Amino acid sequence: MERIKQALEQAREERVKVLGERTSGPLFLTDEGPGADARLAQAIRRRSPVNQLPPERQTALISAGQVLSLGAGETLLTAGESNDYVHYLLEGALAIATEFERIQTLYAYQDAALLPVDEPGTKSHTVTAELPSRVFRITQQEINRQTEAAAAAPVPTELYAETFTGQQLAELVSEINADHESLTPPVDPAPAAAPVDDEVKIGDRTLSFQIDPAFVEPPSEPPEFTPDELDLVVRPATGDELAQIIRDFEIELRRQFESIRNQERARAQAQMKSYAGRVHRLAEQQMRAKMDIVRGRYQVAYAEKERRLRERYEQLITLTNKVARQKAAINQARRELEEKLRIADQVHRDLSRIGLTVTNQLDVLEDMIPAGDAGAG
């Protein structure tokens, strides 16, 4: 049993090596002349789902694949092996079998050859070349990528805008594309917080708060009293030395009192100014922080709303492109049917003309045969 397993593993490795050497060259093998490449490419374009793609996507898909040339009896696939490739029979014949029996012999001219021979993943059948054959190999991922790209690409309006319904569909597609392009680019859902300005000047109206300029005026000098004002306060007796001393002391006391009052007032104004500045900066910071939070929430909600809107537009565009492709396919099928009907009508006319000519010739021959000869015959 171990020898059988080793032999199977060795045969599988040899087969993978041979296939790798065979596919390391150019895409198509042109040993049958310059027309072989075009013939194989045309055969690939008829396979499904390649035939549903636009020409440029078909060309890209063909360029991404590989063409294998198998001799009679060579194995293409072995049951149990796993890969992401799918294979299409282009020329020749393939024998499809399970572990116990042969299921089918697939020929390139059959309609079943338009579909893949296998599915991506673990292979359930063993496929062997019944005749010298050509097989196209491509990854399912590449097929999906080209199909999605074709679904997202717009369909030319001239392919489906021949009728009134097609013109309305073309106008609808144009409006949807214009609306989708007019959307603003996505915003950053987490914007950076705005820097807080620590230099808040007195008199700024950011918070509708203004400090009275009277609080920031420089302190004034102690007032000077005139002799008349001093006489109103103290009227000492003339020549009284004690009264003069008291008057001078009172004047000096008033000067000191005014000086202390002005200093205290200036200090209070400075403290008021500093406190108002701190309150102003703190309120400014809190307000800006709240504004940043509200702005961030709004931008996140707006970005989510716009993302959903973009997804809806993309879904709608994909749907309209699909309808447009179906409309174009219907128009193409209608033209092909009209051409076939025209050819059939022409064939019918030709057959009628030939029948009429044969009838006339038979009538002429009957007229040419004498009545006696006809009776004798």
The whole-number pLDDT of residue 376 equals: 52
State the Cα angle at 375 between 369 and 376, rounded to 5°.
Answer: 95
The whole-number pLDDT of residue 117 equals: 93
- The residue among 123, 136, 114 whose CA lies nearest residue 81 is 123
The CATH superfamily holding the domain 2-152 is Jelly Rolls (2.60.120.10)
Which string of DSSP letters, residue by residue, matches 170-220?
Answer: HHHHHHHHHHHHTSPPPPPSSPPPPPP---PPTT--TTS----GGGGSPPP
Residue 131 DSSP one-character state: S
**pLDDT tens digit string along 102-150?**
899 999 999 999 999 999 999 988 999 999 999 999 999 999 998 888 8
The whole-number pLDDT of residue 197 equals: 46
Task: Strand 126-129: give its sheet, edge to edge.
Answer: 75-77, 126-129, 93-97, 102-107
Q: What is the pTM of this model?
A: 0.42
The whole-number pLDDT of residue 160 equals: 61
The whole-number pLDDT of residue 143 equals: 92
Instruction: Please answer whether residues 188 and 355 qualify as being in contact, where contact means their C-beta atoms are separated by less than 8 angstroms.
Output: no
At 77, which helix (H) or strand (E)?
strand 75-77
Instruction: For residue 213, give every residue at least 6 positions away whose Cβ sits within 8 Å of its Cβ, in sequence order, or none.
Output: 203
Instruction: For residue 196, give every residue at least 6 positions away whose Cβ sits within 8 Å of its Cβ, in sequence order, or none.
Output: 281, 284, 285, 288
Tokens of 100: 């116990």
Tokens of 45: 């374009």
- The residue among 66, 114, 72 whose CA lies nearest residue 89 is 114
* Length of the chain in terms of residues written: 377
**pLDDT tens digit string along 185-214?**
554 544 444 444 444 444 444 444 444 444
Any idea where the domains of the chain sit in the sequence? 2-152, 154-330
Helices (H) and strands (E) in the chain, counts: 8, 9
How far is the C-alpha of 177 from the C-alpha of 19, rounded, in Å?
A: 46
How far is the C-alpha of 94 from the C-alpha of 134, rounded, in Å?
A: 10
pLDDT in tens, the chain (377 residues): 566 667 656 765 665 455 444 443 334 443 344 456 888 999 999 998 898 888 888 999 999 999 999 999 999 999 999 999 999 999 999 999 988 888 999 999 999 999 999 999 999 889 999 999 999 999 999 999 988 888 777 766 666 666 666 666 667 767 776 666 666 555 454 444 444 444 444 444 444 444 444 444 444 555 565 555 555 544 544 457 888 888 888 888 888 889 999 999 999 999 999 999 899 999 999 999 999 999 999 999 999 988 888 888 888 888 888 888 888 888 888 888 999 999 999 999 999 999 999 988 888 888 887 765 555 55
